[in-house]
Structure 1
Amino acid sequence: MPKGPISNFIDHHYRHFNAAGLKDAAHGYAAHLDAGNKMLVTLAGAMSTAELGLSLAEMIRQDKVHAIVCTGANLEEDVFNLVAHEFYERIPNYRDLTPEDEVALLERHMNRVTDTCIPEHEAMRRLEKAVLEEWVAADKAGQSFFPHEFMYKLLKSGKLEEYYQIPVENSWLYAAMQKDLPIFVPGWEDSTMGNIFAAHVIEGDVKNVHTVRSGIEYMVELAQWYTEVTKDSSMGFFQIGGGIAGDFPICVVPMLHQDLQRDSVPLWGYFCQISDSTTSYGSYSGAVPNEKITWGKLGIDTPKYVIESDATIVAPLIFAYVLGW
């Protein structure tokens, strides 16, 4: 693939330290795909609010990503941005805010994520109204779906189209919906929509709490998917941040080996983590990749990369390199 200006810049200037780690990881990602293999990407933090969709959506469209594991926050915040982008507010001096300043934002229903405020009414309540209709319809029909499946149904229905405020090409979830990309969302209840769903169960609007399927069911689906896909290709693991988005899926391999005795299932074939978590005090997010060998997740020969930096800077650069930009 011909290289564009970003790729050439990285190749020429990124020679040492975290810069070299970034370049090595990008080379490894591209080589993994060039060998006919596949890649799973995990999203922690607030990558959707950071508008990672600007590059991730194209990665999905060009088959550079074959599955996503994300927090409930990243699942919903991509839709928040899609339907309420013009109402967001950026606060460059967020480090200088006083507690009183924060209260003023609360009173305006502006939920702050570092330097960006998500508007409750235009984003969260707008999505709530639409997705509640899907929850109630499924509940009455005795059906149940995963959180991402409800989002897919909502995007396919066009119910929110009148509110779109960015090009759909910049929404990674919209691109995933078009590809019917496998998505796994562990701990979805720890999200705004998860909290709202619980509230509607308490109020009785949704009768069956199992209308939205659980994290254990996601693990079962992930195990079946991984077993099938890795019959003829190696699966890579590209981890953005730490937390449950990374911890949950990487455990599927030792579960398959140790608990299901599927010894023929291969280990993860590539591993890269972008994180600013330090290696100390039992931190899993900051653990070096070799520690994962002891848990049966990675092998001695698995290409391993750690980039200790800000994922909002690093991830788009690696994606740009893989895309040949």
Structure 2
Amino acid sequence: MNRGPISTFIEHHYRHFNAAALMDAAKGYEKHLLEGGKMLVSLAGAMSTAELGISLAEMIRQDKIAIISCTGANLEEDVMNLVAHSHYKRVPEYRDLTPEQERDLLDNHYNRVTDTCIPEEEAFRRLQAHLLDVWKAAEAKGERYFPHEFLYQVVLSGVLEPYYEIDPKNSWILAAAEKNIPIIVPGWEDSTTGNIFTSYVIKKQLNVHTVKTGIEYMIYLTEWYRANSGGKGVGFFQIGGGIAGDFPICVVPMMYQDLEWEDVPFWSYFCQISDSTTSYGSYSGAVPNEKITWGKLDVNTPKYIVESDATIVAPLIFAWILGQ
């Protein structure tokens, strides 16, 4: 592969400590794909609001990612950025905000994520109306779908196109929808759109069963893993920690411990980008070797951990994979 300037810079300068871990993880990811492996990427935190889609969407388009696991927030916030980008408010001095200034942001319908405020009216409500339409349409036909499938229906229908405020090639949800890659969204209820759906159920305007559940996501992932883990197998690239990572990685021990299926392959590559402190029972901060004891990784599984900020590290690793 011909290396572009970013990759050339990384290879020349990133020689030690976390920089070397980044380089090793990127080369391991590349080797895994070259040998015919597939990759799951998990997104915790607020990666969509951090506009990771700029690099993630191209990874999806170039078939460098086979499946994604993400929080409900990351699922919706990529689309919110797509349709309301100009209304976002950046607060670089966020560390100095007083409680009164935080309340002022709320009163002006801004929800803050570190240094970036999501505009409630332009982002949440713009998406809400179109989600309600597909929820109601499914219910009227007696159909049920996963949260990501409903979002795919909205973005592929074209109803949001008049609102686009960024180049659509930088939306990872659009790229994923166009490729129709599977997305696992554990704990979708813990998101704005999950809360909105709940409100309609409480108001008896929608049936709770219209949106499929987390247990059904685990069944869906089980079927996908069984169909895709042959040969080199499936790798696991984890951005952050939490449920976005822990839920999907557990499918392997579930299959051979609880279903008692034989010959279930372990995840065949593992990398985590995290700045979580490694101590005191933290899953996000657990070193990869701990996962061996839980039946997720094998002794010889290539394992990497880059202890740094994912908004810095992930685009660099993706740039290497893409040869940029």
TM-score range, shorter chain: over 0.9
Q: Distance in 1 between matches of 2:201 and 2:167?
A: 34
Deviation string 1:64-106 (CA, Å, 9 cap, x unpaired) is: 0000000000000000000000100100000000001001100
Indicate if the aligned counterparts of 2:42 and 2:239 stay in contact, CA closer than 8 A: yes
Match of 2:148 in 1: 148
Report the secondary structure of 1:284's partner residue.
coil
Unpaired segments ≥5 residues, structure 1: none
Q: Distance in 1 between matches of 2:60 and 2:25?
A: 18
Indicate if the aligned counterparts of 2:44 and 2:242 stay in contact, CA closer than 8 A: yes
Deviation for aligned residue 1:142: 1.1
Shifted more, 42-51 versus 258-267: the winner is 258-267
Indicate if the aligned counterparts of 1:223 and 1:252 stay in contact, CA closer than 8 A: yes
Match of 1:168 in 2: 168
Q: Distance in 1 between matches of 2:105 and 2:277?
A: 32
Percent identity among equivalent residues? 69
Q: Distance in 1 between matches of 2:262 and 2:44?
A: 30
Match of 1:137 in 2: 137
Indicate if the aligned counterparts of 2:32 and 2:232 stay in contact, CA closer than 8 A: no
Aligned pair count reads 324
Match of 2:84 in 1: 84
Matched, 1:226 2:225: yes
Deviation for aligned residue 1:260: 1.4
Match of 2:245 in 1: 246
Deviation string 1:261-295 (CA, Å, 9 cap, x unpaired) is: 22212100000000011111111110111100001
Report the secondary structure of 1:181's partner residue.
coil
Indicate if the aligned counterparts of 1:231 and 1:265 stay in contact, CA closer than 8 A: no
Match of 2:214 in 1: 215
Shifted more, 252-261 versus 146-155: the winner is 252-261
Matched, 1:305 2:304: yes
The letter for the 2-side match of 1:235 is V
Deviation for aligned residue 1:22: 0.3
Deviation string 1:171-209 (CA, Å, 9 cap, x unpaired) is: 000000010001000000000000000001111221x10
For 1:1-325, what aligned pairs fall within 5 Å after superposition?
1-206=1-206, 208-325=207-324
Q: Distance in 2 between matches of 1:127 and 1:204?
A: 21
Deviation for aligned residue 1:156: 1.0
The letter for the 2-side match of 1:270 is Y
The letter for the 1-side match of 2:278 is T
Indicate if the aligned counterparts of 1:109 and 1:119 stay in contact, CA closer than 8 A: yes
Q: TM-score, normalised by structure 2?
A: 0.99
Report the secondary structure of 2:118's partner residue.
strand
Q: Distance in 1 between matches of 2:108 and 2:317?
A: 37
Q: Distance in 1 between matches of 2:8 and 2:231?
A: 33
Q: Distance in 2 between matches of 1:286 and 1:223?
A: 26
Deviation string 1:226-248 (CA, Å, 9 cap, x unpaired) is: 01111234100000000000000
Q: Distance in 2 between matches of 1:38 and 1:276?
A: 26
Report the secondary structure of 1:121's partner residue.
helix
The letter for the 1-side match of 2:303 is K
The letter for the 1-side match of 2:180 is D
Report the secondary structure of 1:289's partner residue.
coil
The letter for the 2-side match of 1:218 is Y
Shifted more, 191-200 versus 275-284: the winner is 275-284
